Chains A and B, each alone.
Chain A
Amino acid sequence: MAGSHAASCWRPVISALGLVVVSIVAWLAIGALGLVRPRNLTYVGRVLFSAGALVGLLLAGVALSALGQGAQTAVLPLGLPDLPFHLRLDGLSAFFLFLLGATAAGISIFSAGYFRASDGAAPGLLCLQYHTFLAAMAFVLIADDAFVFMIAWETMALASFFLVTTDHRIPEIRRAGFLYLLIAHLGALSILLCFGVLQGGSGDYTFGAMRTVILQGAWPSTAFLLALAGFGAKAGLLPLHIWLPEAHPAAPSPVSALMSGVMLKTAIYGLLRVTFDLLSGQIWWWGVIALVVGLATALFGVLFATVQTDMKRLLAYSSIENIGIIVAAIGLAILFKTYGKTLLAAIALTAALYHCLNHAFFKSLLFLATGSVLHATKERSLGKLGGLIHRMPWVAWLALVGTLAIAGLPPLNGFVSEWLLLQAFLFTPSLPQSFINMLVPLAAAALVLAAALAAYVMVKFYGVVFLGRPREPNLAYAHDAGRLERAALVWFAAGCVLLGLFPVQVIANLDAVNAMLIGATLDRPGMSWWLLAPIDTHRASYSPLIVLVVTVAVFLLTVQVVHRFYHGRLRRGPAWDCGFPSQTPRMQDTAEGFGQPIRQIFEQFFRIERELPTPFDVAPRYFVRAEDPFWYWLYLPIARAADWAARRVGLIQQGRISIYLMYSFLTLLALLYFVR
């Protein structure tokens, strides 16, 4: 019945929006097909996940073509009788749908070769959850009323919860899953309240109605703060980040990639949608709040990433950092827009969107690479890895691209968004409030500190996992990734390179979103296809293509010249042992050791447990753990308070029928008094 309704509805909109709906239905169908033969790996993996990847490519293509076009809307007669599903595809949704499609395509290809028969849950079940997750995310992006949005949002949260708890027999993973679900629902509650504020008493929960409502007094700010809290919980903003480093490592690697690469971006989408689209105007201090919270999150995330010893936790903290940078960019865009500096606002917003895309690519690449490492070595702890570049050259070299990209180095993609953001920061001193003029350059310094620390983190990550000598003997049997996994890694690495080399073309596509949300574009006269100059060519310009071409040319020339005029003679010998011949691989820097300088100078930010041996210990033991202070400042007190309150409430539960009858009697009496 519902199917025939839907079919009749598509016919008028066999446009881009129709194709998006087709993709969503296709994903759901692929998920359901997984249940047909759930234990057959070839069928589920090779056939269904590959089909899912094709759907992702289709979605990315459709979204790309829809970016420049106007908004399309549709009403599906699904759901409750008076509340049909409102759908809408505009520039903002199209951009995030592209991100979803392109990332999902790569991750699905990786998954096609990733899941093994021994992995607890049936692959068919995973396939269902995975594709439901994808479909729910796509649905979030095209929802045009609060009901559909919340339904899709909750489906997304539940599907990802089941994916996180794939290995539910391990207690830590169950705990991580619970924490995730808890924070996700706190966030959802906040979003629900936000929509409640946004409808402004009209009772109409479509986004179209919300756009026309003009809120008075403190209500717009309330809506913004609720949105920031609600979407921030999903994105991992301070102090609601606590679930992220638990849930990301718990999930299988492709799922971690999907959550980090795409799901966090749906929260960014929601924040942008509410702030720039549903709310009719912005207030300058919203921008300051987003900027401060974003930068605090970025610094916090990267500081904690430096001291992690589990490679997936390290990447999870790095995701917190990147989300912080994105939110800071959004804050800057709000700030500029409220002061009428639309060009600068457009630059900041472009930086935010660009960084979303970049993060989706390089973080997926790195999470998938850790998946391959995990498969090859069964080891997640940085202290037991090392030297994998010799055994896993494909994964190692492709991960190097991701490492350089996430460290924000030219000519790769991470640098472009950071460069744009810094440009937006640099030209701030034109704002009318001198207090903000002082604040913003310091914020830029904080951003650079976060970016430089990110380079530190990534050197640690790559150096400890792939370089050096193997820290454990069994690493000598590690095998490289399979063909499908390699294809996925190549896809993401190529994305990192291309997004880095052709910023002008990327920005030309992003301009549709700028035009929609800010009302200005970055289409500057001085920009040619190879030179990025967002303001004008005399103020700032950057050409990644020249950087790459010249570097490569000098590189090749130097190799040629050195070998032609001198010689190419090379001898292999043992590494110099500094006169101490019995060196073992355990004497390399460990992950703890690499984080030590940071732990020392930022000591007050961590909660450190340390156990130092004395010189007289017979069995000396060194132990250090840096923990998240938010647990102790915020979460454990709240948990204790909730526990205490529950015990007090529990006192009324006596377990005797006479007491309960008395409660009913008292309740009736009270009601009678009111009804009277």
Chain B
Amino acid sequence: MTVSGFISQILQLAIALLLAPLLLGWVNQCRAWLQNKSAPSLLLPYRTIRKLFNKDAVVAENASPVFRIMPYVVFSAMALAAAIVPSLATDLPFGRAADAIALVGLFALARVFIALAAMDLGTAFGSMGARREMFIGFLAEPALLMVLFTASLISGSTLLPTIVETINQRDLAIYPSLAFAGVAFTMVSLAENARIPIDNPATHLELTMIHEAMILEYSARHLALIEWASALKLFNYSCIGLALFMPFGIAQGSADASAILGATPVLIVKLAVGGLALALIETLSAKMRIFRAPEFLGTAFLLAVLGMLVNLLLGS
């Protein structure tokens, strides 16, 4: 752990924090284009966050401290994940503090906290949202693990930095198992990030909400942190996906500040493509009933298992 390592680490974290709302804005803009609507500004998420920070917070009378610390806990967990995921460089001080499984655990921690805070006020929608969120969560986690399993079969490691390095060292080739795993990962990411077809981030109808139902009671700085954390979660999932399936252009070996900055444009390009794909998926599909989610995530699980079997049988 050197000083320059720490600087790189903080730089990656800062870039992640800054880029995350932009990714969200970009997805919204692409979606608006694809749906033939006039697009909001690319910078709208930043303005929303700033606006929310300036407002006075309103907290329900019977809220416990769980309600008030939740946004900070979730934001911290997502920031930590952003520091660990090798989005820009592989050799960072915190890079080995959590492997892919521990990252999944970190996301689960955030999810449990959001669900608990949603139940704190005792409103009907809050607890409904909590129940649904945990429901989607337990369906998604086995599929996500199978994806990580497949990826770790290829590189013999569950550490994302090692996976990135291993795949980069090989010749450019299409691994059939990774193709299956990639589709499964995309499906799981849609569910985990409360996107269509599982959840609709733009909904205003409480009965169909999942993520939004849980945060109905939040306002001002608390809501700003939650929104930022959601953007970070999308960013983190995208970067995990990129690390597993498109690990090119990530700074390897000793990472100093210039290497980080050099890797940033590549990341932006990759995220722009990913965001466009996300907008396309969201445009082409409709939100499904909540009890169709087991089928959707079951399919993701089977695809991931298929990927793993392909790997075991063909060895690729």
Which A residues contact B (CB, under 8 angstroms)?
Answer: 386-387, 389-390, 400, 404, 407-410, 415, 419, 422-423, 426, 429, 434, 437-438, 441-442, 444-446, 448-449, 451-453, 455-456, 458-460, 462-464, 467-469, 531, 533, 537-543, 546-547, 550-552, 554-555, 558-559, 562, 565-567, 569-578, 583, 585, 587-589, 593-594, 596-598, 600-601
Contact = CB atoms under 8 A, between A and B. Distances in A.
A667 to B, nearest CB: 63
Given A410-B102, A597-B132, A462 B121 contact: no
B255 interface: no
11 contacts: A423-B158, A445-B142, A445-B145, A449-B142, A460-B134, A555-B72, A555-B76, A566-B53, A577-B123, A589-B127, A589-B130
Given A410-B106, A543-B97, A547-B102, A389 B57 contact: no
B62 interface: yes
B96 A543 contact: yes
A542 B101 CA distance: 9
B162 interface: yes
A594 B305 CA distance: 30
B282 interface: no
Contacts of A408: 105, 108
Contacts of A546: 94, 97-98
A554 B79 contact: yes
B158 to A, nearest CB: 5
B19 interface: no
A345 B64 CA distance: 45
B246 interface: no
A566 B309 contact: no
User: Nearest 9 CB-CB pairs, A to B?
Assistant: A468-B122, A589-B127, A469-B122, A463-B119, A452-B138, A546-B97, A575-B60, A554-B76, A452-B141
Contacts of B141: 448-449, 451-452
B120 A419 contact: no
Contact of B137 (A429, A441, A452, A570): A452
A472 to B, nearest CB: 13
A558 B216 CA distance: 22
A444 B153 CA distance: 14
Contacts of A593: 127, 131
Contacts, number: 242
Contact of A547 (B106, B125, B159, B162): B106
Interface string B29-73: 000000000000000000000000110111111101010000011
Interface stretch (B109-117, B175-183, B233-241, B267-275): B109-117
B218 to A, nearest CB: 11
Interface of B: 53-54, 56-62, 64, 66, 72-73, 75-77, 79-80, 83, 94, 96-99, 101-102, 105-106, 108-109, 111-112, 115-116, 119-125, 127-128, 130-132, 134-135, 137-138, 141-142, 145-146, 149, 152-153, 156-159, 162, 206, 216-217, 221, 225, 290-291, 294, 301, 305, 308-309, 312
B116 A462 contact: yes
Given A426-B149, A455-B112, A438 B312 contact: yes
B75 A554 contact: yes
B101 A538 contact: no
Contacts of A594: 127, 131
Given A426-B149, A445-B305, 19 more contacts: A389-B66, A409-B105, A419-B101, A429-B312, A444-B149, A452-B138, A455-B108, A455-B112, A455-B134, A464-B119, A540-B99, A543-B97, A547-B80, A547-B102, A570-B57, A573-B60, A575-B62, A589-B131, A594-B127
A441 B99 CA distance: 18
A597 B53 CA distance: 36
Contact of B135 (A448, A539, A585, A597): A597
B105 A410 contact: yes
Contacts of A555: 72-73, 75-76
A467 B66 CA distance: 9
Given A445-B305, A449-B138, A588-B124, A539 B80 contact: no
Contacts of B105: 408-410, 415, 419
Nearest to B166: A538
Given A455-B137, A589-B119, A594-B131, A570 B61 contact: no
A408 B73 CA distance: 17
B99 A588 contact: no
Given A554-B80, A570-B57, A597-B135, A407 B112 contact: yes
B47 to A, nearest CB: 15
Contacts of A539: 156-159, 162
Contacts of A467: 64, 66, 116, 119-120, 122
Contact of B101 (A422, A434, A453, A576): A422
B142 to A, nearest CB: 4
A463 B96 contact: no
A565 B221 CA distance: 11
- Most chain B CB neighbours (cut-off 10 Å) among A538, A559, A571: A538
Contact of B158 (A434, A455, A540): A540
A550 B56 CA distance: 28
Contact of A578 (B125, B135, B142, B156): B125
A442 B122 contact: no
A468 B77 contact: no
A387 to B, nearest CB: 7
Contacts of B61: 572-575
A541 B312 contact: no
